[in-house]
Structure 1
Amino acid sequence: MEEEKQTIRAVERALDVLLTFTAGNDLGLTEISQRVGLHKSTVFRLLATLEHRGFVIRDEATEKYRLGLRVLELSASLQREDDPALMLIGEMERLRDQLGETISLYVRDRKDRVRIQAVQSQQAIRRVAPVGARLPLSVGASSKILLAFAEPEVQDLLLHDPSWPASLSPETYKEQLREIARAGYATSFEEREPGAAAISAPIFGRNGKLFAALSVSGPSNRLTPDSMLESAPAIVGAAKRMGAMIG
């Protein structure tokens, strides 16, 4: 049976409602309804159920909703000592102190990349990296790593997906991915937004499988193409140490 046929529509809708809060708390019924594309009466019933189970809280004064304590209970269960993302914080902090920029870990989730861990730069002007941020796979140094070291069939599916930008030729991009795989790292310079740059390297876990992309990001006036080339060995080396730690 196909994956789509195995899902329960009511559960999907409830999860869609919860996911609207990734953009922030204090959302009204109309706003949530518009974001999930459901009638307000349906969303109201879903919110009532989530409120009853403690996943959302309704402010009686403003009639707006925010996440409840039950969500914190779920997130707390992720804070285990054997969580690889937590195990690598020390090494990420050392790399941050060495390079002075924000360090992040990204993993691929279907057609997106998701930041699962971050250590912020201590400089006044820095790249803010919220954990849980979901970004497209078509731009960014970490996206290139996640694609370059993915299985060939995964690459083909993603590069020929209808959501892939028409301006990016799959064949040309695939050649770029091959070059990245040979080099062992990827860079991006003002690709996703002006003034931002990043360099990324792969972290391989058990059985040599890609675990995450280690990324260093910062303002493009500090992370210039020359400076990224100079720091590449340190980033690749840190990624290898991290792989050994989780492997």
Structure 2
Amino acid sequence: MSEEKKTVRAAERALDILLCFVSQPHLGLTEIAKQTQLNKSTVFRLLATLESKGFIKRDPETDKYQLGFRIWELAANIDQSHDPAILFLPEMESLRDELEETVSLYIRDGNERIRVQAVESKQAIRRVAPIGARMPLAVGASSKVLMAYTDPKVLEQVIQDPMWPMGVNKEVYQAQLKQIREEGYAISVEEREAGTAAVAVPIFNRRKQLIAALAVSGPVSRMSVQQMMQFVPNLVKAAEQMSKKIS
């Protein structure tokens, strides 16, 4: 292997280590090695390099690692003028206050969807929505909204993925997407997570291109199908206001 390829591979591995912290704030060496499928000695060397540059910190008492301050320095310089997660936050908060349920914003990344923003309900029993969580595109109201308005080639790629759940009928799924395009919203009840229901609508830019899916979710005890259908006009209105902010 050439030196150039070795350098690129090392960079990929270092980035894989940083991505481990998307789901957990504190990780040990063994946990990181397991998630990245690298041997501990390789992980240890890369962690030492990342720590020397300020991207990783190690707690000497717990021997756990966490993201360093250099990450936040980089994040502070992100151009937020076109970031939906920032631009749409006021409308999401208003929608949460109107409907009293958790509001989330999703985008598609490959064959998954990512929750890029969330405003949790103030009720004692509520839908907890961690930002950065990745979910499959086969199930869930937001997943179906994202797929209903995507390019047909992308849709075909997703449903032909070997990881497609065997329990999800592809023909039924595509029929559901057609219905979503006709009605403009999607509803799911305990499709991905027991005890949870959600309703979602698309957000488009001014060129009518899909930007994200806006969803309201909560416990099935409060989120009946009838209740969610009553939420649809509120979501559509919020999505239209968000669309005006995106060129």
> Normalised by the size of structure 1, how large is the TM-score?
0.92
Aligned twin of 1:221: 221
Aligned twin of 1:37: 37
- The alignment yields a C-alpha RMSD, in angstroms, of 1.7
Distance 1:108 1:141 in 2: 13
State whether structure 2 residue 227 is matched by structure 1 residue 236: no
Aligned twin of 1:134: 134
CA contact (8 A) 2:115 2:133 kept: yes
Q: Which runs of 4+ in 1 moved over 3 A?
A: none
Residues 46-72 of structure 1: CA deviation (Å, up to 9, x unaligned): 111111111101223332211111111
Distance 1:33 1:156 in 2: 34
**Identical-pair percentage:** 54
Aligned twin of 1:118: 118
- Give the superposition deviation at 1:95: 1.1
Amino acid across the alignment from 1:236: V
- Give the superposition deviation at 1:79: 6.7
Paired residue secondary structure (2:245): helix
Aligned twin of 1:105: 105
- Give the superposition deviation at 1:116: 1.0
Aligned twin of 2:80: 80
Distance 2:69 2:198 in 1: 35
Amino acid across the alignment from 2:94: R
State whether structure 2 residue 168 is matched by structure 1 residue 168: yes
- Give the superposition deviation at 1:37: 0.7
Paired residue secondary structure (1:207): coil
Structure 1 residue ranges without an equivalent (≥5): none
Distance 1:169 1:141 in 2: 16
CA contact (8 A) 2:203 2:242 kept: yes
- Give the superposition deviation at 1:82: 4.2
CA contact (8 A) 2:82 2:246 kept: no
> Normalised by the size of structure 2, how large is the TM-score?
0.92
- Give the superposition deviation at 1:83: 2.6
CA contact (8 A) 2:23 2:133 kept: no
Paired residue secondary structure (1:116): strand
Matched positions, count: 242
